[in-house]
Structure 1
Amino acid sequence: MKIVTGGAGFIGSNIVKQLNNRGIDDIFIVDDLTDGRKCRNLQGLSFYDYMDYEDFDMQMADDTFDCGYIDVVFHEGACSDTMNYDGRYMMKNNYEGSKNLLRYCMQRKIPFLYASSASTYGSGKNGFREEPQCEQALNPYAYSKLQFDRFVRRVMPLAKSQIVGFRYFNVFGPQENHKDRMASLIFQKYNELQETGKITLFAGTAGYEDGGQIRDFIYVKDVVNVVFYFWEHPELSGIYNCGTGVGHTFNEFVQGIIDYCGKGHIEYVPFPEVLKGKYQSYTQADTQKLMKAGYDRGFTLLGEAVKEYCSILEKSGGYYE
């Protein structure tokens, strides 16, 4: 059995989709469907069973969960709202729950592959290497992810099975509709263009020109490829960046949307006061550690990925058909 927490979410449902593409459906999905829109992500996916995350967390904490033999856990479940400042909730959901699941896996020697975040690097002023000196959490979400990474580093020497954390950079692609303000720039701006005929971007701030903020955008299909590479190499453990290693400006990124749609223009709006000091204006993964681990499956060129995703947004609203 493969467990996918957050299996009705963005990256989680893409993992399930790729497992299905490989003919695998002995999958146990854990998620929270309070937001019923996520049910749409499960359409067309084949899996063995589903459990609500609160029941799952309780059984993990009590060590009473049992679904038979488990050969891997893909832990994608988390509250990913960087604007949620309820630190107590973030730590309970993203930190305590993850610790309980990790302990469960370590006791049973189950490979544990989990979602970390590039937000753990904060402003990135110290670089984007998987090292403590580069880490600086700017909000409760990032802090909860960073604290779990630190816990992983402490217990990893004791582990007798695989543990891998993936610091996702700016992921975009199908099945992210439910994420609202946390959805990728392409999802938000594609829909803005359809509704208004234009795309708005932040004006320059912190030394960046209008629309000149830089992000390491990575297509969700490439994210799944990275995750599966490590699943297929159980001898590898550690915390790894999951980005392309190439930064692109917001202007470049949304121009691909305009080119695909054949209409629209960019307008710049003032940078919000509420985000000053809490916003990543620049991200670019250092991929040296990933490459040293032998990852050799490459990354989709940004222009090709934007075109493919825009086609899916146009045909099905952003869902797999």
Structure 2
Amino acid sequence: MIIVTGAAGFIGSGLISRLNQDGFKSIIAVDDFSKIEKTENLEGKIIQEKVERDELFPWLDKNQRDVEFIFHIGARTDTTEFDKEIFDKLNVNYSKDIWLKCVAYQIPLVYASSAATYGLGEHGYDDDETTLSQLKPLNPYGDSKNEFDIWALQQEKKPFFWAGLKFFNVYGPNEYHKARMASVIMHAFNQIKATGKMKLFRSHNPDFQDGEQMRDFIYVKDLIDVCIFLMHHRKNSGIYNLGSGEARTFKDLVTNTFLAMAKTPDISYIDTPVDIRDKYQYFTEANMNKLRSIGYDKPFHTLEEGVADYVKNYLASGSYL
């Protein structure tokens, strides 16, 4: 059996789809299934059992002998949430409990960290484990992810294989439920479809022109490929960046969305909301050398390829991965 937490979410549901395609049918889907807006993500997928998030640990105590791997993808990911207690409960303490079970039962683990740990990038975007304590995330979400990464490295007892993946800006199918936190591509698709235009955040940093803010955008299919690689690899434990390795502008992103919709780009700019303006990353770019060094050699989708696939094969038809 393979456990996937956050199973009904964006990345978790896509991962289950890929596991099914690869012949894995004994999937234990863990989530807060009271959130019905996410249930469509699991339609058509082969799942052995659904386990409520709060029931995972007693379930694991009973069934640990049959568990082959855990993908801990579930987390509170809202970067506009500032209640630290929520992140302590769902991102830090819950993750610690999963780690300790993996140690006790010798279950390999891949868990989701985040590029939000890098803050403004004062120390660059290298997945150097010796610099984690120097990082300055911009919000409680980033703090929670960095806190767990640091805790994991400090543990004397570790799963025989584990990997923390610092997800950069992920986009792709199955994010329909994410509302404000969905990718800019999805927001662009909806705005363009409704109005023929797209509004992007204006730059409030003199070093960047409007629309020239840059992020490392990674297509969810590439992220899932890495997860599958690590499940089979099971060595070289540690924390790894997971981005495309190439920063691109939001203007590039939206222009490609227009082109995938066969429409002429029409972009204007609005002020960045005040509640996130001073916590806004203007540049991120993953150094991917560490992952490449352990043997992962599959190329990532270019921005043009990923946006075209997402828009034409999923957003335009409302299809799920």
* Fold-level similarity (TM above 0.5): yes
Aligned to 1:188: 187
Cα deviation digits, residues 162-183 of structure 1 (max 9, x gap): 0100000000010011111111
Aligned positions of 1:55-204 closer than 5 A: 55-56=55-56, 59=58, 64-66=61-63, 68-131=65-128, 132=131, 135-155=135-155, 157-159=156-158, 161-204=160-203
Q: What amino acid maps onto 1:235 in structure 2?
A: K
Distance 1:277 1:318, change over 3 A: farther
Q: Distance in 2 between matches of 1:64 and 1:295?
A: 33
Q: Distance in 2 between matches of 1:80 and 1:316?
A: 26
Aligned to 1:268: 269
Aligned to 1:251: 251
Aligned to 1:299: 300
Aligned to 2:41: 41
Q: TM-score, normalised by structure 2?
A: 0.94
Aligned to 2:318: 317
SS of the aligned residue for 1:37 comes to helix
Aligned to 2:28: 28
Structure 1's consecutive aligned runs of 4 or more residues displaced over 6 angstroms after TM superposition are: none
1:68 positional shift: 4.4
Q: Distance in 1 between matches of 2:237 and 2:281?
A: 28
SS of the aligned residue for 1:158 comes to coil
CA contact (8 A) 2:99 2:159 kept: no
- 1:308 is the counterpart of 2:309: yes
CA contact (8 A) 2:108 2:159 kept: no
Cα deviation digits, residues 129-188 of structure 1 (max 9, x gap): 123266211111111111110111111x53251010000000001001111111111111
CA contact (8 A) 2:241 2:286 kept: yes
CA contact (8 A) 1:162 1:235 kept: yes
Distance 1:309 1:88, change over 3 A: same
1:276 positional shift: 2.3
Q: What amino acid maps onto 2:99 in structure 1?
A: L
1:5 positional shift: 0.4
Distance 1:318 1:123, change over 3 A: farther
1:26 positional shift: 0.6
Q: Distance in 2 between matches of 1:275 and 1:36?
A: 28
| Structure 1 alignment gaps of length 5 or more | none
Q: Distance in 1 between matches of 2:64 and 2:107?
A: 13
Q: What amino acid maps onto 1:210 in structure 2?
A: D
SS of the aligned residue for 2:44 comes to coil
SS of the aligned residue for 1:232 comes to helix
Over the residues paired in the alignment, what is the CA RMSD in angstroms? 1.5
Q: What amino acid maps onto 1:34 in structure 2?
A: S
Q: Distance in 2 between matches of 1:75 and 1:108?
A: 16
Distance 1:185 1:318, change over 3 A: farther
SS of the aligned residue for 1:4 comes to strand
Q: Distance in 2 between matches of 1:69 and 1:223?
A: 26
CA contact (8 A) 2:201 2:210 kept: yes
CA contact (8 A) 1:230 1:236 kept: no
- Identity, % of aligned pairs? 38
Matched length:
316
Q: TM-score, normalised by structure 1?
A: 0.94
SS of the aligned residue for 2:15 comes to helix
CA contact (8 A) 2:80 2:275 kept: no
CA contact (8 A) 2:118 2:137 kept: yes
| Structure 2 alignment gaps of length 5 or more | none
Q: Distance in 1 between matches of 2:70 and 2:188?
A: 34
Distance 1:45 1:158, change over 3 A: same
- Which is worse superposed, 274-283 or 164-173? 274-283
Q: Distance in 2 between matches of 1:120 and 1:317?
A: 32
1:314 positional shift: 4.2
CA contact (8 A) 1:31 1:53 kept: yes
